[in-house]
Structure 1
Amino acid sequence: MKTQILDKQSFQISEEDSKRITSLRFLLIVFVVFIHANLTPDDALNYYHYDFIQPKWIEVFKNFICNTLGGAAVPLFFLFASYLQFSKNDSYPTLLKKRSKSLLLPYILWTVITVILYFIAQSIPQTAPYFQNPINIVRAWKGFDWIKIFTYHNDIYPLVYQFWFLRDLMILIILSPILKYLCKKFAGGMLVFVSVFAIKGIPIFCVNTGALFFYIAGYYFAAYKISFFKIADKMKIYEYITLLALTIPFDLMFESKYNFGFIKTLISCLFFLKLSSSFIKHQNLYGKLKYLAGYSFFLYAVHTPLLGTSINKISQQIIPLHGILCLVQFLLASFLTIVFGTIFGILLNKICSPAFRLLNGGRK
């Protein structure tokens, strides 16, 4: 008997799948922090003008953490968001109302906060030298610049640059009735079509095609009531580790010839989906991950451009960027950003819970 495609009725996600999604939320944001703490040789030498001597093995390690493992973070969030959206199958007005609170409002608030902090930092003589990027000088912005800070501030990212995920997700949600129609009309062909563009990195609908691929994949999983966790569980954890390990020599051998980015992302996504089964088997571990999941969005929002950037710049000034110290600086800056960002969220929630919920998109 053919699986019935979801139309007007929603379906209940299993408790296990819900727990597995929750168990991954904070961990995936941690990898986002690692990505933004990674000082590349080009930026160090050409942008910051640091005396930067990083051994090749450290570069390989950081790329594995940030690009291979970290490459799964945002795609999985697109997959989860889409899967949850289409499984609930809210009416379009209800959907827009919910996402206005959980996505649009915090998007606006965090951007305004960043503008205010930039303005203050640029007005204080002691801090002004550290905020001289011409595109970020608040006083120099003209009329249209105030719109671009929320959309495509530097042609690719908004002012709060990690919010490109929220921007693209909101675009996809607005377009979701059209995307749903196309997915139903062309069935799996729509996913194949988008995957080709994703591999080539060609944008569609003004959004990242990798994001579009995982968003559409989430629709199909919800529509056909298929658990992506069960797909990931078909392989053993050591098999995923082997595949991930093989990406290192492949990258080194074919670095300038072939792009394995999309394939690596798929492997990494399946690895984390598989890993989540271990997280929920241990009640104490899951309890801690569930607690931290409540602060995952806050850490995502607060970690950059100010908190993480400040910690990075201070640590880069203190720690000589030579040899093993390049790795020390990377790990220390990431760790401090994660700890301070999470503690800040916990304290704000205890001191002023309404403000925390507002900035956290209503998430508790």
Structure 2
Amino acid sequence: MLLREGQELELIKILRFPLIVMVVMIHAEFSTISMGGENFQFNLETFPIYSNLSFLISQLISHIAVPIFYIFSGYLFFYNLQAFTTKEYIRKIRSRAQTLLIPYVFWNLAVILLFFMLQTFIPSMASGENKLIVDYTITDWIKAFWSYKLGMPICYQLWFIRDLMVVILLSPIIYYAIKKTNIYCVLALGILWAFNINIGVPGFKTVAFFFFALGAIFSIKPYSLNVIKKIKNLSYLLSILLLTFELIMHNIDDARNLPNGIVDVIYNTCIFSMIISLFNITLSILQKRQIEPNRLLYNSNFFIYAYHAMPLTLFTKVLIKCIEPTTEIQTIFIYVAAPMLTIAVGVLIFNILKKILPQFTSLITGGRL
């Protein structure tokens, strides 16, 4: 059965909130917690069920979220585009300044302010590993907005937006490469991504360029998501086999000695097959019935994404301090409860802000109300 017109947009709409939950779950995993300058280390061998569950959810399944968001971004950027002129490019850049750049600046500033407040008033809840905000130099301020630690901005989850802004600035290159080479430039980027080949410059991750281009080709060229239905069963089989393989290797110490190239290709093939599987499952559901996302949850997507990192860390620390986990059940409870609390509080705060400060809320979420 072929997709009906506009079903790609329906898929994007209904997947956004579940994918945001996955983004939160990526950061919900904990093995070491820093409080007041001390590290609290969890021996994962003592909690094998938690270790495998968190690996499956946070390191495998949830890692499909970021690539899919890049696919959506590439598809929507070129959606219904007749000609990619200079005028159209400038219009899109101005639009993305409002939807991406302004929220990016605000939320990094918000994290800097929260760091300052924690360091000043509740130092016992701070990690003690970060430089005091009051001691920041000009270089520190620049790094905070681009590459604070591990190649990420200080509001670390916003590396996705930073890289997306870079890709959008270079979108004419992607557009004309697809126009001239069809799918071959996308395949070339896919090979680089599969082998985890990057140039090592913050803001230029291969994952952003590949999946943005993959989404873009469905708008630039006359392709539809019907093409993925042809490999539906293969994607299901690969997903199950590779998830099982990854879980087995997670429990084998010698697996760490495998060549990085092999590890990367197997892992990324697993991620890609799960992306295709999720699309096929969602499209199969959409063909049977129309789904309307809960507006309360759907509208809060961006706010939850932008706000969740520090509250999630705080909820995790508070729960660990209160429960002092010594069993699998307690550890898994914290792993599940902290992100669920973070999401619930985020939805609540967003909807309160939307009612009392609609213009401000629109500004910090890029107009996503």
Please give the residue correspondences for 1:200-211 in structure 2 after superposition, counting only pairs within 5 Å: 200-204=195-199, 206-211=203-208
Which position in structure 1 is the counterpart of 2:279? 273
Residue from 74, 81, 89 that aligns with 1:82 = 74
Residue from 56, 64, 69 that aligns with 1:72 = 64
Which position in structure 2 is the counterpart of 1:199? 194
Please state if 1:162 is matched with 2:157. Answer: yes
Which position in structure 2 is the counterpart of 1:141? 136
The change in CA–CA distance for 1:300 and 1:185 in structure 2 (over 3 A counts) is same
The change in CA–CA distance for 1:66 and 1:152 in structure 2 (over 3 A counts) is same
Residue from 8, 14, 23 that aligns with 2:14 = 23
Q: Which amino acid aligns with 1:17?
A: E
Q: Given that residues 52 and 322 in structure 1 are in contact (C-alpha distance below 8 angstroms), is that contact kept between their aligned partners in structure 2? A: no
Rounded Cα–Cα distance in structure 1 between residues aligned with 2:38 and 2:90: 45
Q: Given that residues 38 and 127 in structure 2 are in contact (C-alpha distance below 8 angstroms), is that contact kept between their aligned partners in structure 1? A: no
Deviation, 1:189, is: 2.5
The change in CA–CA distance for 1:279 and 1:352 in structure 2 (over 3 A counts) is farther
Please give the residue correspondences for 1:92-171 in structure 2 after superposition, counting only pairs within 5 Å: 92-124=89-121, 127-171=122-166
Higher relative contact order (CA 8 A, sep 6+): 1
**Per-residue Cα deviation, 1:319-352 (whole angstroms, up to 9, x for no partner):** 3333322211101111111111111111111222
Which position in structure 1 is the counterpart of 2:365? 360
Q: Which amino acid aligns with 2:71?
A: L
Please state if 1:56 is matched with 2:52. Answer: no
Residue from 330, 342, 348 that aligns with 2:335 = 330
Rounded Cα–Cα distance in structure 1 between residues aligned with 2:240 and 2:175: 37
Deviation, 1:246, is: 2.2
Moved more, 48-57 or 154-163: 48-57
Q: Which amino acid aligns with 2:178?
A: C
Q: Which amino acid aligns with 1:103?
A: L
Aligned residues: 344
Please give the residue correspondences for 1:195-274 in structure 2 after superposition, counting only pairs within 5 Å: 195-204=190-199, 206-228=203-225, 230-234=226-230, 242-251=237-246, 252-253=248-249, 255-256=255-256, 257=258, 258-259=262-263, 260-274=266-280
Q: Given that residues 38 and 330 in structure 1 are in contact (C-alpha distance below 8 angstroms), is that contact kept between their aligned partners in structure 2? A: yes
The change in CA–CA distance for 1:207 and 1:231 in structure 2 (over 3 A counts) is same
**Per-residue Cα deviation, 1:194-251 (whole angstroms, up to 9, x for no partner):** 12221221224742212211011112221113223x23434568x7555433224312
Query: Root-mean-square deviation (CA), in Å?
Result: 2.6
Which position in structure 2 is the counterpart of 1:311? 315
Q: Any gaps of 5 or more consecutive residues in structure 2?
A: none
Q: Which amino acid aligns with 1:310?
A: L
TM-score by length of 1: 0.86
**Per-residue Cα deviation, 1:9-58 (whole angstroms, up to 9, x for no partner):** xxxx93322111100001000011111111136989x9732354543232
Q: Given that residues 22 and 65 in structure 2 are in contact (C-alpha distance below 8 angstroms), is that contact kept between their aligned partners in structure 1? A: yes
Q: Any gaps of 5 or more consecutive residues in structure 1?
A: 1-12
Which position in structure 1 is the counterpart of 2:351? 346
Moved more, 184-193 or 306-315: 184-193
Q: Which amino acid aligns with 1:151?
A: W
Rounded Cα–Cα distance in structure 1 between residues aligned with 2:69 and 2:56: 20
Which position in structure 2 is the counterpart of 1:294? 299
Moved more, 333-342 or 98-107: 333-342
Rounded Cα–Cα distance in structure 2 between residues aligned with 1:34 and 1:108: 24
Q: Given that residues 357 and 363 in structure 1 are in contact (C-alpha distance below 8 angstroms), is that contact kept between their aligned partners in structure 2? A: yes
Rounded Cα–Cα distance in structure 2 between residues aligned with 1:43 and 1:225: 51
The change in CA–CA distance for 1:169 and 1:62 in structure 2 (over 3 A counts) is same
Which position in structure 2 is the counterpart of 1:10? none
Rounded Cα–Cα distance in structure 2 between residues aligned with 1:349 and 1:52: 43
The change in CA–CA distance for 1:16 and 1:335 in structure 2 (over 3 A counts) is same
Counterpart of 1:361 in 2: which secondary structure? coil
Q: Which amino acid aligns with 1:314?
A: V
Q: Given that residues 103 and 363 in structure 2 are in contact (C-alpha distance below 8 angstroms), is that contact kept between their aligned partners in structure 1? A: yes
Q: Given that residues 38 and 66 in structure 1 are in contact (C-alpha distance below 8 angstroms), is that contact kept between their aligned partners in structure 2? A: yes
